[in-house]
Amino acid sequence: MNSEKLEQVWQEVCDQIKSYNNIDPTQVNAFFSRLHPQAMSEGFLMLTADNDFIKTWIERHYAEFIKQALADLYQVPFTVVIEVDLAPAVPAPATAQRSGGPSETAPTIAGEAASAKTPTPAEPAAPAPPQNSAEHAAPMTTPNLAGTDADASSTADGPAAANPESANPSVAGMENGADGPTSTLTFENFVIGDSNRMAYSMAVAVAEMPGKAHLNPLFIYGKSGLGKTHLMRAIQNYVNETMPHLSVVYVDSAELLSDYMEASAAHDKEKSSYKNFKTRYEEADVLLIDDVQYLQGKKQTLDIVFQIFNKLTSQGRQVVLSADRAPKNIDIDERYKSRFNSGGTFDIQPPEIETKLGIVKSFVEEYRESEGSRDFDIPADIQMYIAESSSSNIRELKSAVTKVIYQMTFFNQPNLSLDDVRSLLENHFSGGPSKRLTIADIQKEVETFYRVSHAELVGKKRAREIIHARQIAIYLCRQMLDLPFNDIGKKFNRDHSTVMYSVTNIEEKMKENRELREELETLRQIIREI
């Protein structure tokens, strides 16, 4: 069979698989783009995968579907063989050749066990999509639900707390040790959608070949609860599993700051303390720093991070950073912004309905597997209600699913109706307009964000930065409070037509300007957390 015909047959097989129930077509598209048909005869198909990760994932999760599709199309049973294509042998990254033997495992990360992580969902590039895990365990006997990317009890990522996107309550004990496997935060249990596909793809690329110049550093940003830490932990897990000779260090900014303060405080008494602090990070082959926005205003710590950053990247060792905003919106020196932006910078947007529904389904499937309850399911209308009602924060969505699961199992109510679930989750979701917010609240946060005074925001000055802040504040008042234009105008000393123009202008700019959308999403998050 010639290659053109083989590709055509393979496309038919893929289309057949996507027609099956309980198959997510977006995941098939992403995963199967990394498979290539090599040979086919009666009852036999040979495929090659880009790497071991793809091969293993396909064999575990899709091999039977491939065989079923072939049998449905050709009415004969098939043997399917998947091999790794080693033809384009890629040289090992510089990091892998830095030392002859295995690197020492990084030291304990304090506070990881106190945090809980949520995964989540963005754009093109080929890597593979898996399924999400859970978080927000209920205060009862907790099933082994996979970890997510945010602290179940926190409403925002705060510098004083352990990283809210890090651990899983069900495996907290495992994560309180060295930088080894971090529970279930892997590429396999990350649900991919249009909102996160590009960030996911780049994370996989870095995990497969750490230290490549065009993705060093890799900077992933997006608001809390969208899956940044899940991707960072997935990189950590993948490198630990496939390249155990490399030293991988994950740290959130709160821990990094604490480490630095302790080392500095002890410096006079024990001169080795400061050296040991730097050595831990400078000897990493892959260094992952989470929530770097919390280092703003911490000049001395930033200087040290900058030194470590420059040393590692100059030696071809990989640095991965995450934040809740783009580098340009972090209040740090321009040289830091420039360096943070010098590799690959990718955002994670709030997930669309389809992705949230996929997360709900994967969470239910994970519960079935962990509990051995293959017949358990949540009705489709309830799953859709949860996906549509939840905010963009995936931890909120997953905790809603957890509540429903416990209501159905622990409280023995397997026949929950949609009305029952509406009552159960009546006060759970934070999405929708806030009734407690005021125009003054929004004005204050916009003034702080853009560094303008209240007099400037509501006054007559027409400097570009002031006009921009004013229009953003008006737009957010209209969107978040749903007030009439006249009522908003009175608080800004503007008339109805000016307010209407401001809203329309921002809406038009958002269509073309991704950075503006990111600014607005950051502001919404800040305002919601008041």
Q: What is the 3-state secondary structure (H, E, C) of 392-451?
A: CCHHHHHHHHHHHHHHHHCCCCCCCCHHHHHHHCCCCCCCCCCCCCCHHHHHHHHHHHHC
Q: Which of 149, 311, 89, 333 is nearest to 216 (CA)?
A: 311
In the structure encoding, which two tokens stand for residue 207, read together? Answer: 């995990």
- CB of 350 closer than 8 Å to CB of 197: no
- CB neighbours (10 Å) of residue 87? 6
Closest listed residue to residue 239, CA positions, set 26, 396, 92, 84: 92
What 3-state class would DSSP assign to 151?
A: coil
What is residue 116's DSSP assignment? -
Q: What is the DSSP letter of 163?
A: P
Q: Kindly give the pairing relationship between strand 44-49 and strand 35-41.
A: antiparallel
DSSP 140: S
Examine residue 217 and say whether the peptide bond preceding it is cis (omega within 30 degrees of 0): yes
Residue 227 annotated as part of some ligand binding site: yes
The 3-state DSSP class for residue 10 equals helix
β-pair type (218-221, 318-323): parallel
Q: Which residues contact 184 (CB under 8 A, 6 or more apart)?
A: 133, 146, 147, 168, 171
Q: Tokens 């490549």, residue?
A: 212
Residue 280 CA to its chain's centroid (Å): 26
The count of other CB atoms within 10 Å of the CB of residue 410 is 12
- Is 225 labelled as part of a ligand binding site? yes
Q: What angle do CA 280, 283, 288 make, to 5 degrees?
A: 75
Residue 223 labelled as part of a binding site: no
Q: Contact, 346 vs 231, CB < 8 A?
A: no
Residue 210 parent element (H or E): none
Is 228 annotated for ligand binding? yes
Indicate the annotated binding residues for ATP: 225, 227-229
* Annotated binding-site members: 225, 227-229
